[in-house]
Structure formats: C-alpha cells, structure tokens
Amino acid sequence: MKEINLMPQNDFLVEAAKNGDSIAMNQLVKLWQKRIFNFALKYFGDYDMASEVTQKTFISMSKNLKSLKDVKVFKSWLYRIAANYCHEEVRKSQKRWVFPFMKVQSKEDQNHIENTLAISKEDNPEKTMGHLELKSLLQKALSQLPEEQRLVVIMKEYEGLKLREIAEVMAISENTVKSRLYYALGSLRKILEEWNVNKETVHYEL
Amino acid sequence: MNYKPTEEDLIAYLYNELSNEEKSKIEQYLTQNPEEKERLQALQATRMIFNQYEDVEPPIDFSVTSVESNSNSTFWQKYIVIAATLLILFTMGWLSGFQVKYNSEGLAIGFGELNQGLTQEQVAEMIYNDQLELLEYVQANLDANQDSLRNELANMQASLDPTDLVKQAFELEKEQLLGEMNELNENLGSDYREILRQIVVNFSNNIQSQRIEDLRGIQAAFTDLEEATIGKQFEIEEALEILSERIDAVANNSNNNK
C-alpha cells in the first residue's frame, strides 16, 4: 500500500486554487496528474483512454473547484470525478463495441496467456516473467473484475484511499466497500491461481 | 469463544483500519482458526503480487495552463462559432425583415411589415361580400344575354322576306370578293411585277430561239428532200433512157423479123 504524504501541501494548494490562484491550480494538477493517470490506466489498461479521462478530470476540476465546500474532501471529490469519467467512457465504448477485457471468454483469454508465456519462455529462458509480462497479466486480471469491484481495488491497493474515502467516492456504505474488496481479492486470488502466478513464480522469475 | 468476525471485519483487519481493540480480537480469533488465517494470508499474498504493478509516468503534462488553454480555446472556438452563426442568422433575418409575432390572436410569421392577421369575422365577411359580388355579376350577364337574344329575334322577324335576304347575301359576297381581288392586286408590289415581267421576257426569249431552231430544222429537212427529189429525177431519166433503148431494140427486132 502506497501512502501518499502530500496532504499539507495539497490542502494549501486546494485552498489557493479555489480562490482563483491559477498557479496553485497548475501545481495541483502537477501533484495529482500521475495518480489520476495511473488510476485510469489501471482501470482501462489503455494509455489513450487513461489520458483522455485524466484530461477531462482536470478540466472538470479547474472548472468546479470553486464549488467544493470542504477542502478536506478534495481527494474523494477528485477521484469521484475521475471514476465518473471512467464509467462514462466505458458506457460510451460499450455502445460502440465490447471491450477486449470486458468480454466473458475466460478460455480464450487463458489460451492467450498460456501462449504468451510459452513464447516468452522460448525467447528468454533466463527471464521468463519480466516486468512487462507480469504487468500485462495483472492488468488482465484486474480487467476481469466487474467494474465496481475493479474501482474499489484500484482505489484501495494503488491509490491508498481509506475505506471511508472509497465509500465517499462511490457514494456507498463502508460495509459495501469492504464486501466488494473481499470478493474482488478472492476473485483475483483465484485468477492468479488459474494462471499459476504466485509468490514463488513471481519472485523466482523476477 | 463464540466470536466470529465478518468478511467486512477481516477486510478492515487486512487493511489495518481497525481499532487496536478490534484488531487484537481478530488476531486472537485467527490464532484459534488457522484455516481462516491461511485464507487471509492468501489474500495478503495476492495483494503483494498486485503490488508489483507499478505506476508509470503520464505521457503528457496535464497541468492547468495547457489543459486550460486547450480546453478554453476549443470552448471559445465553439462559442465563437455559435455566436457567429447566430449573428449571421439575425443579420439575415433583419435584412430580410423577417418577423415572428405570437400573441393571443395567434402566430404570425412574415417578411417586412408584419400585419396582424384578419379575425374570423373579417374573413367571413370578405367571403360573403365576394359571393354577393359574383352573384350580381352573373345576374347582370344573364340579363344582357337575354336582351341581345330578344333583339336578334326581333330583327329576324322583321326581315323575313327570303328574296331580299338572298339578294342581300349575294351583294355582300360580291363586295367581299371584289375587295379581296383589289387587295390582291395591290399586294402585288412593283418588285413582284418586275419578277413576273422578267419571267415573261425570259419565256418569250426562249420561245423565239426555239422557233428559230425549229425553222432551221425544217429548212434542213426541205434541203434534204430537194436533194433526194433531184436524185430520183436523175434515176428516173436514166431508167427512161434504158427503157427507150430497149423499146427501140424490140422495135428493130420485130422489124427485122418481118
């Protein structure tokens, strides 16, 4: 879990940006762009869509920050904007086509993963599972979670939000957050087991 | 011990978001229930693996200046385009005097001076007046026709004598025909006459030359005939001489025989 220790600076910047300080607004974006981009990237597994959502999020932020009443809830507020844009993008793209990772076709996916593993083994026996392979595997695993579980896992595991903050972002009860996390972690554990990805293989092969 | 933590409690424990009291309670429970502990450890291991998925640097800088200038320019462009379109529409509308009016009397759209439409009574009255006018006109026409018919009938009755009628008609026809002839004569302009004259002259010239040719032909024929006649004359004279000689010879013979 990554603890992000930027709260004092953050609150100060939020307050200043709220009062129309464009430099503070700029600094605020700089402070948060990596987080929001990575949040969206883990959600979509796609750079372009992550960029789009990040951009939209900060445009919305700079336009609506004035209406934010409590500086303390800035973080949840910002993630809520990002999560809403993520959801909107999925909805829009579902109208166009089904996402590769939204498809329910575990067998094919499994074959695909096995194939990639086999090929990479032949290519480089010394380093069977490099960072890139592991990353794409983990992304694939995340993508198999239902949307609301995926959001919760990303916010908890990678963004380090408190359970209470996630509840705020998603406008659900804290207990619902916990139970979604419980099921999400269970599903991820199963997926990794099926793909034979565990502590030993990861550590051994890294 | 009957205490059994819920899934939610276990998750809170896993993420270290419990009070110390709750925490120790769960730890106690887990030592007593190793299979639960194992399950929780498996989840923790899963988390550790997912923790390997590291952040990346964003491909572009999203800071407000660029975002704002981008978004603002596109927003402003959008607004400017909309404003320009509206301006053009209004200008065109103003230039063409397009007007729309809506009130209790109804909707009125028009170019230039906008006259409020007629009321229902006014329209009804207009239609009534129009019909009345039409009726009067038809009546007047009918009367006039009747009068003229009556007059003609009277005239015909007055001039019922057939001989007079025929004479009259004949005179009329004659005059008409004479008139037409005169007209035709006048219509034959000087040009036309000249052409006619030319045609006549040409024609007569042709006739003249034709006649001379014919005369020559006849003369030649006569000459031939004359020559032929003279030839025949010589032949006949020769024949006569031969005949007379033969007759003389016959006469001599007969004289000798006697």
Terminal-residue alpha carbon distance, chain A? 20
Q: What is the pTM of this model?
A: 0.53
Average pLDDT score, chain B: 85
- B residues 227..256 contacting A (CB < 8 A): none
Q: Which residues, 6 or more positions from B71, have their beta carbon under 8 angstroms from its beta carbon?
A: A59
Name which residue leads in pLDDT, B119 or A155.
A155
Cβ neighbour number for residue A149 with a 10 Å cutoff: 21
Distance to chain A for B74, nearest Cα, Å: 12
Q: Which residues are CB-neighbours of A61 under 8 A, at least 6 positions away?
A: A28, A29, A78, A81
Interface A–B counts its CB contacts (< 8 A) at 113
pLDDT at A125: 42
The whole-number pLDDT of residue A40 equals 95
Interface of B with A in 1-20 (CB under 8 A): 7-8, 10-12, 14-15, 17
- Residues B61-83, mean pLDDT to the nearest whole number: 67
The shortest C-alpha distance from B85 to chain A (Å) reads: 26
pLDDT band at A123 (very low <50, low <70, confident <90, very high): very low
Provide the CATH topology of domain A7-96. Rna Polymerase Sigma Factor; Chain: A (1.10.1740)
Locate A68 and state its tokens: 């934010």
- Please, what's the b/e burial string for B166-181 (b: 16 or more CB within 10 A of its CB; e: otherwise)? eeeeeeeeeeeeeeee
> What CATH number was assigned to the domain covering residues A103-205?
1.10.10.10
- The torsion angles phi and psi of B109, rounded to 5 degrees, stand at -125, 135
ipTM score: 0.77
Report in angstroms the alpha-carbon separations of A2 from A11, A23, A27, A110.
19, 27, 21, 30
Section A68-81 average pLDDT:
92
Which one, of B72, B68, B70, B62, lies nearest residue A54 by Cα?
Answer: B62
Specify burial of residue A58 (Cβ count, 10 A radius: 0-12, 13-18, 19+): buried
Q: In sequence order, what are the residues at sequence separation of 6 or more whose Cβ sits closer than 8 angstroms to the Cβ of residue A72?
A: A11
Q: Which residue has the higher pLDDT, A101 or B205?
A: B205
**Any idea where the domains of chain A sit in the sequence?**
7-96, 103-205
A34 touches chain B (CB under 8 A): yes
Closest among A161, A157, A118, A164 to A141, alpha carbons compared: A157
Burial of A38 (0-12, 13-18, 19+ CB in 10 A): buried
| B7-41 per-position pLDDT tens digit | 999 999 999 999 999 999 999 999 999 999 999 99
Picking from A28, A29, A185, the nearest residue to B43 by CB comes out as: A185
Q: Do A59 and B11 touch (CB under 8 A)?
A: no
Cα–Cα distance between A145 and A102 in angstroms, integer?
Answer: 9
Q: Which long-range contacts (CB under 8 A, 24 or more apart) does B40-48 make?
A: B40/B10, B40/B13, B40/B14, B42/A189, B43/A185, B43/A186, B43/A189, B43/B14, B44/B14, B45/A189, B45/A198, B45/A199, B46/A185, B46/A188, B46/A189, B46/A192, B47/A157, B47/A185, B47/B14, B48/A199
Using a CB–CB cutoff of 8 Å, tell me whether A181 touches chain B.
yes
Are A182 and B57 within 8 A, CB to CB? no
**Which range is least confidently modeled, A167-176, B7-16, B182-191, B193-202?**
B182-191
For B144, phi then psi, to 5°, come to -60, -45
Q: Which of A162, A188, A189 sits opposite B17 (nearest CB)?
A: A162
Cross-chain residue pair A178–B56, CB shorter than 8 Å: no
Check if B191 contacts A (Cβ < 8 Å): no
CB atoms within 10 A of CB B13: 19
Helix (H) or strand (E) run with residue B111 in it? strand B106-111
Cα–Cα distances in Å, from B133 out to B8, B144, B178? 95, 17, 50
Is B54 within 8 Å of chain A by CB? yes
Q: What is the pLDDT of residue A3?
A: 47
Question: Where are the domains positioned within chain B?
Answer: 7-50, 62-97, 128-187, 205-258
For residue B107, list its beta bridge partners.
B102
Supply the pLDDT for residue A96. 61
User: How confident is the prediction for chain A on average, in pLDDT?
Assistant: 82
